[in-house]
Structure 1
């Protein structure tokens, strides 16, 4: 026996009208020891249709004032419900989709809590519970195997519970599956605000925290292999090189290094040969001389060499056109005609340079300066086109050296890697995530088999920082490259076992192409019209009732929808304890402003 609450009186398209009985107004019903929720918006009911039950969700209710009955001085109104079919029960199994529609006269009844749970839990392989249904207050097990093999979007305004949802999703996964994951999957968290550097997510034995720091010394470093660093695309990312002039220049630098990499002391020989070519030329080039002085200032321990270079000037005469060095007043030596003098004054000082332990960024600066000198002498490059790149290398070299280590060994990577950018300058925060995404994407793509037997999960909190289309601090070509990289990862990554999770408080700032490629969404409170319009245009599984509730969701509640969840559901995500929750709690002014 069931609790009947009405009957179908109209079916127009997929909209079903139900005349509700008087007992339908109760908030809660109890029958045969089971609890039933009463009828209200977004509740589920079953309409008996032959041997099947069509499951509908209530989208509205109203009183039909056209059908009234006079009973003395009292009026009795008929309560009507507007419902939409979402699936049906067959052999006690819920199946989604509109295959059957009810008919006029079919009876509507309430669903028990167990039946409501089975609607959402039908694809859950095992217990994976992160919260409860908001209205029904029922814990629901989600299909973790179909959530984490998809791209996820977690959106919500500040204070809506977005960070807690992100942390809860992965904390429950690691608590239950960390041993099974083993070396088969890697999880990389790009943490802009340092919210996951404590006891969050996983135990220390499975988690590595890399705290990058450009404000002062003492921070950790992100390791790049030498063959990754000496790559035109990588260097182009770091120093925002233009595609038509500066990247070809970097390719020439890299090609020259690669040609002589196996020659002992090749960098010192390259420096020596360039100095000699500039200073002893019969057709001296003053621009090359100035570049040579800049080069000397970028090399370590070369004060004596700089002093000698500062004495070099151009001198022309009837039979000579050469650089010369002032030795004493009215006494000079021509470098083009005096090989011994050049060798004593410059050659020995260049040989004394200690270039054995020069870092990757110092070597880059030296080689780019050497290359531009060669290009200026041969006339193969316009200095004014390359100069902005050289200035960026000089400006960013120190900061990048604090956060990037160029090495032959990347070391062992644990299951969970958290990269904190909290103490990095804003410019570095914008560049490094792009480099890291490219690093992990290409490394995994090169190593993975087909079909993939290992996976990579890239989690980007505050994703609007690097996926925004609104930035005016960069050129259009650089912005296009940045977005194209992530669009390629999110479009092509799934076939290689690469999955992205994006969390943001401003989804409208993120490229619509990227948002539209996400598979599943956890949407917390959003009030901005642009954010809501983006979701409406990109999420096909978000129904109008769920969308209308997004601006008024309570803290911690979210709409869960996507390809894994054919039926959108409202969930209240369980709050993690303070020691395991994200480091993003609201400020308590009552504690701060105590007298």
Structure 2
């Protein structure tokens, strides 16, 4: 037992000790834990924060009770308490037992204060809560995520086979870290989804369009106002009707088309515009009963609807009343449109057709104001239909939501995958954000409705979270932000977020405020440091200063899984993710392979004099 000296002052949470040991023979004591032991067996725990040749300042961090370690500083030692260095069995009460014998603990890293001392955290206290890993670029965030997951699956005889970990990989870094994880345990599998439609490195991500709701389509189309939502909602309701051909749906089609036509006929616009708009509608949307060639039978002669739309030289449609009479007979009863239940598959093209019809039936043709905010939906959807991103929604077969989620965690060999990586490196930020939100919402909705609440946990890890988990317009437009909802409600359903970011100040405050654990690597930006100071509990000024100088791979951890702020080193993952910086000093001095390959297909032009001589010769020969 190493006695340190005597207490000379207690000010607030700081205790000053007059040292009785020779400091010239000691290692650096800053960060070491001290026990203040009273005669009544009270044990107050403190951490040395400052030391000189004769004294040490110690900050109280908790108390050792018969039931374990209690963090905080509600109790303080008396002046007669004897300060001593902490013992190994007491240290285990703070940092976890050194030998992991069951599922209750997971190895995290090595203490930077106690040499080769393992930091083992309680599994539930970390993974039953949302967490955040923060740090500047190059500080080791991707390495930390990779190593943590590798630690979880490192036991070849006992790995969590029922885990469901989804990673949204902003840069395609993690495939290298996990693709061979099956070699550790034959029952552990990794699955990668690619967004690289030109040259996919694995299975291309595909989402069944019919499983998406109004809010999901709104994310895809970048909706900017809540007034656009009814158009999307109606389009989704129209899709199954426009795709079907039975008698019941035929009547619905006739009724819907007729009401759109009646809106045009009663719009008060000039006859030419009415004719053109009706022609446009019936060219794209028609039935065997209601189309441009429908016959209107009159005594003595029959004419088609198209003929009745004739506008004479005076600009009048003489047969307007006949057109109105013919169309109005299809509007006898208004059909109730039902929300799709995910049982009728459809394509983006089907949705585009329904969207165009929804725009018409919502009165777009009657109002320029409505047209302005509504037509942009049609334009964006058309762009999506004809772009590479359409492949993400070209699902090859009918599937239910439950079976689709099962397919996400099923490998091509039919095995259960524990880690699923979505490589979203090949899409722009808007599409990446939409895909991340859509899949996260689908997992959350499924978990909320699952009969065994929390029985299928989903861990969603989002790289570059500041690009996707933001305080955006979702709250105003949709009434909620899916990530805010998950962080507030997901814990009880087993849906947990891991937010990985270099710019915590750009994250949604609601989402990060619900995180229970924080792993903070080197952070330099003043705005981010101030944000961390305000958001993270138990963070002192000394700790904040230390964040600026942390070496890559070193971090300070806070939260429910860490009984005190814990400085540790995260070991390098093996294998590593593809997140290292470019090796400039090597690349600069290698042969220029890119330039050489480029110049093999590129011939330098002749100099001007040679070119002129060649042209002169050719002219003379032709002459």
Q: What's the TM-score bracket when you normalise by the shorter of the two chains?
A: 0.7 to 0.9
1:566 is paired with a residue of what secondary structure? coil
Match of 2:236 among 224, 244, 254: 254
The 1:288/1:17 distance shift into structure 2, 3 A limit, reads farther
Which residue pairs with 1:550 in the alignment?
547
Match of 1:139 among 118, 122, 126: 118
How far apart are the structure 2 equivalents of 1:477 and 1:489? 14
1:592 aligns with 2:587: yes
Is the Cα contact below 8 Å between 1:214 and 1:425 reproduced in 2?
no
Match of 2:383 among 395, 400, 404: 395
Which residue pairs with 2:227 in the alignment?
245
More strand by share: 1
Which residue pairs with 1:166 in the alignment?
145
Which residue pairs with 1:48 in the alignment?
37
Which residue pairs with 2:372 in the alignment?
384
1:189 aligns with 2:167: yes
1:393 is paired with a residue of what secondary structure? helix
Which piece of structure 1 moves more, 267-276 or 48-57? 267-276
How far apart are the structure 2 equivalents of 1:319 and 1:86? 88
2:484 is paired with a residue of what secondary structure? helix
Which residue pairs with 2:298 in the alignment?
none
How far apart are the structure 2 equivalents of 1:588 and 1:169? 26
- 1:527-570 deviations in whole A, cap 9, x for unaligned? 11111111111111223332221111111000011122130010
1:40 is paired with a residue of what secondary structure? coil
Which residue pairs with 1:82 in the alignment?
57
Q: Where in structure 2 are the equivalents of 1:505-584 lying within 5 Å?
A: 505-577=502-574, 580-584=575-579
Is the Cα contact below 8 Å between 2:34 and 2:86 reproduced in 1?
yes
Is the Cα contact below 8 Å between 1:161 and 1:524 reproduced in 2?
yes
Match of 2:359 among 360, 372, 376: 372
| Cα shift at 1:128 | 2.4
| Cα shift at 1:227 | 4.2
2:136 is paired with a residue of what secondary structure? coil
How far apart are the structure 1 equivalents of 2:189 and 2:23? 53
The 1:260/1:177 distance shift into structure 2, 3 A limit, reads farther
TM-score (norm 2): 0.73
Which piece of structure 1 moves more, 214-223 or 249-258? 214-223
Which residue pairs with 1:102 in the alignment?
77
Match of 1:208 among 170, 181, 191: 191
Which piece of structure 1 moves more, 478-487 or 557-566? 478-487
| Cα shift at 1:386 | 1.3
Which piece of structure 1 moves more, 251-260 or 568-577? 251-260
| Cα shift at 1:22 | 3.7
Which residue pairs with 1:487 in the alignment?
484
Q: Where in structure 2 are the equivalents of 1:326-405 lying within 5 Å?
A: 360-376=347-363, 379=366, 382-399=370-387, 400-405=389-394
- 1:127-180 deviations in whole A, cap 9, x for unaligned? 522320012121222212321111010001011111111111112113349966
- 1:205-224 deviations in whole A, cap 9, x for unaligned? 62221101366789844444
Which piece of structure 1 moves more, 533-542 or 236-245? 236-245
- 1:255-311 deviations in whole A, cap 9, x for unaligned? 334567664499999889989999999886637846965997999xxxxx9xxxxx9
| Cα shift at 1:402 | 1.9
How far apart are the structure 2 equivalents of 1:288 and 1:432? 42
Which residue pairs with 2:595 in the alignment?
none
1:564 is paired with a residue of what secondary structure? coil
How far apart are the structure 1 equivalents of 2:146 and 2:477? 31
Which residue pairs with 1:302 in the alignment?
none
Which residue pairs with 1:321 in the alignment?
317
Is the Cα contact below 8 Å between 1:132 and 1:140 reproduced in 2?
yes
Which residue pairs with 1:5 in the alignment?
4
The 1:169/1:216 distance shift into structure 2, 3 A limit, reads closer
Which residue pairs with 1:58 in the alignment?
48
| Cα shift at 1:91 | 5.5
Long gaps (5+) in structure 2: 287-291, 293-306, 327-343, 410-417, 591-623
How far apart are the structure 1 equivalents of 2:500 and 2:468? 12
Which piece of structure 1 moves more, 526-535 or 409-418? 409-418
The 1:364/1:430 distance shift into structure 2, 3 A limit, reads same
The 1:282/1:425 distance shift into structure 2, 3 A limit, reads closer
Match of 2:86 among 86, 111, 117: 111
The 1:39/1:115 distance shift into structure 2, 3 A limit, reads farther
How far apart are the structure 1 equivalents of 2:474 and 2:446? 25
Question: How many pairs align?
Answer: 522
Match of 1:422 among 422, 425, 428: 425
